């Protein structure tokens, strides 16, 4: 999870829409740096560089170095703890960066990767449902796994796998969820709805009683 990436950041003073808009014109976004006993610092980082990290295989759990001007020490090891994306345009708006000590355990969310095609899907027409897509774990930064893997290939309809079935290094990684919690299962295909059978209305009172409803429906269609 540790990548040989160094991102240069600048400290920022201005807050609000005006300064933020000017940052984005320059290809930057506002960010906050905090954690590991240090003070919180308002910074600006390159939006494209942060977006590339988020799109990488290790995503927000990528550990990279952040360099600040006028910083006498080494660049800090950081991770993207949180970020905001414009729901309409999909562009990155803000990021929270967490300082890390490589000798102190930290908590992160790790995605789950299902391996194989279930028998219940391939041969029985079932549907694989993932109930958990990521899990919070605690470990040293250097031991953060890329994924938590689970084999679903032997699942029949009605079968499931739980947190206890996940494959990971149990000596280095601690899962912060109940091991009995279901991760994925194979469901039976949904029943196909039978077509509605038209019922003939007998002549007489039944037909007369049905007529107002038909007229009412016709008015609704016209409106």
CATH number, domain containing residue 123 = 2.170.120.20
Q: How many CB atoms lie within 10 A of CB 95?
A: 24
User: Which one of 87, 103, 119 terminates a domain?
Assistant: 103
Domain membership flag for residue 217: no
**83 contacts 92 by C-beta, under 8 angstroms:** yes
Whether residues 94 and 14 share a domain: the answer is yes
Domain membership flag for residue 201: no
Whether residues 113 and 160 share a domain: the answer is yes
Give the H or E element holding residue 21.
helix 17-25
- Total domain count for the chain? 2
70 Ramachandran zone, left/alpha/beta (phi>0; psi -120 to 50): left
Residue in the structure block whose two tokens are 């942060």? 50
Q: For residues 8 and 67, give the distance between their C-alpha atoms in angstroms, rounded to a whole number.
A: 5
Structural domain of 17: 2-103
Whether residues 49 and 114 share a domain: the answer is no
Whether residues 50 and 90 share a domain: the answer is yes
> What tokens does 133 get?
């897509």
Whether residues 47 and 17 share a domain: the answer is yes
Domain membership flag for residue 198: no
pLDDT tens digits, the chain, 223 residues: what are they? 677 899 999 988 767 777 788 888 899 999 999 998 788 999 999 999 999 999 998 899 999 999 988 766 789 999 999 999 999 988 999 999 999 999 999 999 999 999 999 999 999 999 999 999 999 999 999 999 999 999 999 999 999 999 999 999 999 999 999 999 999 999 998 743 445 555 554 554 444 444 333 333 343 444 4
Q: Which ranges in 82-198 belong to alpha helices (H)?
A: 119-122
Q: For residues 84 and 213, give the distance between their C-alpha atoms in angstroms, rounded to a whole number.
A: 52
Q: For residues 138 and 106, give the distance between their C-alpha atoms in angstroms, rounded to a whole number.
A: 6
pTM exceeds 0.85: no
> What tokens does 70 get?
């006028």
Whether residues 123 and 182 share a domain: the answer is yes
Alpha carbon distance, N-terminus to C-terminus of the chain? 61
Whether residues 124 and 66 share a domain: the answer is no
Whether residues 76 and 141 share a domain: the answer is no
SS3 120: helix
In the prediction, which pLDDT does 139 show? 96
* CA dihedral over 164, 152, 63, 86, signed as positive or negative: negative
In the prediction, which pLDDT does 59 show? 92
Q: For residues 122 and 131, give the distance between their C-alpha atoms in angstroms, rounded to a whole number.
A: 20
């Amino acid at each position: 999870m540790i990548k040989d990436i160094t991102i240069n950041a600048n400290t920022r003073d201005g807050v609000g829409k005006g300064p933020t808009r000017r940052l984005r014109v320059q290809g930057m976004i506002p960010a906050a740096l905090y954690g590991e006993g240090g003070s919180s610092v308002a910074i600006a980082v390159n939006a494209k560089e942060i977006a590339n990290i988020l799109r990488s295989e290790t995503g927000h759990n990528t550990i990279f170095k952040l360099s600040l001007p006028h910083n006498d020490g080494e660049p800090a090891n950081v991770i993207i703890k949180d970020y905001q994306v414009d729901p309409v345009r999909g562009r990155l708006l803000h990021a929270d960066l967490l300082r890390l000590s490589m000798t102190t355990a930290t908590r992160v969310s790790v995605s789950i990767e299902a391996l194989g095609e279930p028998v219940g899907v391939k041969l029985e027409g079932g549907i694989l449902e993932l109930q958990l897509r990521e899990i919070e774990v605690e470990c040293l930064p250097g031991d953060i796994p890329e994924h938590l893997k689970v084999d679903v290939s032997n699942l029949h309809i009605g079968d499931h796998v739980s947190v206890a079935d996940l494959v990971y290094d149990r000596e280095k990684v601690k899962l912060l969820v109940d091991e009995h919690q279901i991760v994925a299962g194979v469901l039976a295909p949904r029943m196909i709805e039978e077509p509605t059978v038209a019922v003939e209305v007998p002549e007489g009172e039944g037909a007369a009683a049905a007529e107002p409803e038909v007229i009412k429906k016709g008015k609704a269609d016209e409106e």
